């Protein structure tokens, strides 16, 4: 059988190749890293409770996870987890024992919950990906203003806490309840700057898997990830995962604060995409994540030995789970399913693996494509929107075999 460049071998039961994994450009020891876009040189800096991460901005802090971290396990270590704050007044000391979550608004009884109160409620845990709305913004063409991330503004953790629904039921929602608004301890340096608040429709907020988390991978949250409690909205972009959660307000209307009405909007168009320069289209608040997949053990531009090279990676979507991950080395003419590894739930990274075998020297482009259980699949070409959200096109990795 010879299908030319697109020939695949199925080799069920093949042993996992051990060792010799090229690391390409990945390095966590270098003082700086170069993102794959213009003006993308970044220092690696260790912030409190963090290992050296890719420093995008120090104040308010935006720290990106070096991509090689995602090759080391399905869960992203707390000290490597990306950081993104909107407003510079971030408490640098938070007392969990004194912390309270105020519940008010369209409720039958207001609450002031301590962490001891949460400890007395049923404990739940969920593995879920937390991804910045603007993850990969730096790869947009044409470029857009904003946080110029590469692909590392995401992470996967096991979150432990209590169901938001249990809190809302304890307060008792009035019939007038329409949305639930969340606020944290952070605030703006200027009173005129809108405080960062986010809202979810009541039916979303009451979902089985929306939790108020006090632990991340079994440990307290780092301060920069929201100690002592943050909201976890599995499947939804991180903008809703309010850190240092201090206030839950039930609204009788759709939240019209700046961070809902003006910021974090996506075009209400096919694929939520528009042509650069477009105006006048309707928008909606950003919501669920789109299906994505990555190779984690090869950098773009890697030099590989002739013969076998292990391929490993991750995939995730907005909450239906991963059905299939495929790789192509012939420009998408043919795709071979990769082996999916342990399933940690529909909101988690799903690791996958396979092997690339090169019998001849040359250049190859490895493309990886995931399909979610809801049938959604990564597009071959990226969409575009002026805020640089939702990027999820098929990733490609150019490699050379000597």
Q: Which is nearer to other proteins, 61 or 319 (CB)?
A: 61
User: What is the C-alpha separation between 40 and 51, in angstroms, rounded?
Assistant: 20
User: Smallest gap, in angstroms, from Cβ of residue 294 to other proteins?
Assistant: 16
Q: Which of 362, 370, 366, 270 is nearest to 314 (CA)?
A: 370
Q: Measured from the CB of residue 73, what is the shortest distance to other proteins in angstroms?
A: 13
Number of other residues whose CB lies within 10 A of the CB of residue 342: 8
- Report, in Å, the least distance between residue 17 CB and other proteins: 9
Nearest to 177 by CA among 107, 72, 88, 273: 107
In the complex with other proteins, which residue's Cβ is closer, 149 or 250?
A: 149
Q: Judged by CB, which is closer to other proteins: 191, or 375?
A: 191
Task: Measure the CA dihedral 270/276/279/281, to 10°.
Answer: 10
Q: Is 268 a residue that touches other proteins (CB under 8 A)? A: no
How is residue 218 annotated by DSSP? T
Q: Which stretches does DSSP call E strand in 260-394?
A: 265-267, 283-285, 292-295, 303-304, 307-316, 322-328, 336-337, 339-340, 350-358, 362-372
Q: Which parts of 30-69 interact with other proteins (CB under 8 A)? A: 37-39, 42, 45, 47-49, 55-61
The nearest distance, CB 270 to other proteins, in angstroms, is 26
Which residues does 203 contact at the CB level (< 8 Å), separation at least 6? none
Which residues are bridge partners to 54 per DSSP? 44, 64
Nearer to other proteins, 172 or 345 (CB): 345
* Of 77, 194, 379, 382, the one binding other proteins by CB under 8 A: 194
Give the chain's largest Cα–Cα span.
71
Closer CB to other proteins, 33 or 177, in the complex: 33
**Does residue 90 interact with other proteins by CB under 8 A?**
yes
Region binding other proteins by CB under 8 A among candidate stretches 123-131, 174-182, 199-207, 282-290: 123-131
Per-position x/- string for 337-366, each x denoting binding to other proteins as judged by CB under 8 A, each - no binding: xxxxxxxxx------xxxxxxxxx-x-x--
Rounded CA-CA distance 46/245 in Å is 25
Q: Are 320 and 290 in contact (CB under 8 A)?
A: no
> With respect to other proteins, which residue has the nearer C-beta, 310 or 377?
310
Is residue 111 close enough to count as binding other proteins by CB under 8 A?
A: no
Chain residues 276-335 in contact with other proteins, contact rule CB under 8 A: 308, 311, 327, 329
Closer of 191 and 270 to other proteins (Cβ): 191
Using rule CB under 8 A, residue 118 touches other proteins? yes
230 Cβ contact partners less than 8 Å away, ≥ 6 residues apart? 184, 212, 213, 221, 241, 242, 243, 244, 245
Of 27, 110, 262, 400, the one binding other proteins (CB under 8 A) is 262
Given a contact cutoff of 8 angstroms between Cβ atoms, the answer to whether 289 and 235 are in contact is yes
Q: Residue 106 or residue 133: which is nearer to other proteins going by CB? A: 133
Question: Any idea what the Cα angle at residue 319 is, between residues 315 and 322, rounded to 5°?
Answer: 35
Identify the residue among 29, 31, 92, 375 touching other proteins (CB under 8 A): 92
Report residue 180 CA to chain centroid gap: 22
CB of residue 26 to other proteins, shortest distance in Å:
21
The residue (of 387 and 392) whose beta carbon lies closer to other proteins is 387
Tell me the three state secondary structure of residue 105: strand
Task: List the one residue from 103, 205, 215, 298 that touches other proteins (CB under 8 A).
Answer: 215
Q: Is 123 in the site for other proteins (CB under 8 A)?
A: yes
CB of 167 vs other proteins, minimal distance in Å: 14
Contacts with other proteins in 174-193 (CB under 8 A)?
188-193
- Residue in 297, 313, 292, 244 with CA at minimum distance from that of residue 101: 244
Of 51, 102, 125, 377, the one binding other proteins (CB under 8 A) is 125
């Amino acid at each position: 059988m010879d299908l030319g460049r697109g020939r695949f071998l199925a080799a069920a039961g093949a042993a996992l190749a051990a060792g010799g994994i090229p690391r390409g450009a990945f390095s966590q020891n270098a003082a700086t890293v170069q993102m794959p876009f213009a003006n993308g040189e970044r220092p690696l800096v260790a912030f409190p409770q963090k290992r050296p991460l890719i420093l995008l901005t120090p104040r308010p802090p935006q720290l990106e996870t070096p991509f090689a971290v995602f090759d080391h396990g399905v869960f992203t270590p707390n000290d490597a987890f990306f950081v993104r704050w909107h407003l510079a007044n971030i408490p640098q000391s938070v007392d969990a024992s004194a912390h309270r979550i105020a519940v008010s608004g369209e409720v039958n009884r207001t609450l002031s919950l301590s962490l001891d109160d949460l400890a007395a409620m049923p404990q739940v845990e969920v593995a879920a990906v937390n991804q910045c709305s603007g993850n990969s913004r730096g790869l947009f063409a044409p470029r857009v203003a904003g946080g110029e991330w590469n692909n590392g503004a995401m992470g996967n953790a096991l979150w432990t806490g209590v169901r938001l629904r249990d809190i809302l039921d304890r307060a008792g929602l009035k019939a007038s309840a329409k949305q639930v608004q969340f606020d944290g301890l952070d605030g703006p340096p200027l009173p005129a700057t809108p405080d960062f608040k986010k809202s979810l429709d009541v039916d979303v907020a009451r979902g089985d898997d929306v939790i108020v988390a006090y632990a991340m991978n079994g440990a307290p949250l780092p301060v920069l990830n929201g100690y002592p409690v943050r909201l976890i909205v599995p499947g939804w972009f991180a903008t809703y995962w309010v850190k240092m959660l201090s206030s839950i307000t039930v609204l009788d209307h759709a939240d019209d604060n700046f961070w809902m009405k003006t910021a974090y909007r996506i075009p209400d168009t096919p694929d939520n995409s528009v042509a650069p320069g477009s105006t006048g289209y309707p928008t909606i608040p950003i919501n669920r994540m789109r299906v994505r997949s990555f190779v984690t053990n090869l950098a773009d531009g890697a030099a590989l030995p002739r013969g076998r090279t292990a391929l490993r990676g991750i995939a995730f979507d907005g909450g239906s789970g991963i059905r299939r991950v495929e790789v192509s080395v012939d420009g998408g003419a043919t795709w071979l399913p990769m082996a999916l590894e342990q399933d940690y739930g529909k909101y988690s990274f799903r690791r996958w693996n396979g092997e690339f075998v090169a019998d001849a020297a040359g250049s190859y482009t490895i493309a990886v494509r995931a399909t979610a259980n809801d049938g959604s699949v990564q597009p071959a070409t990226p969409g575009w929107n002026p805020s640089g959200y939702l990027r999820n096109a098929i990733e490609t990795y150019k490699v050379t075999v000597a």
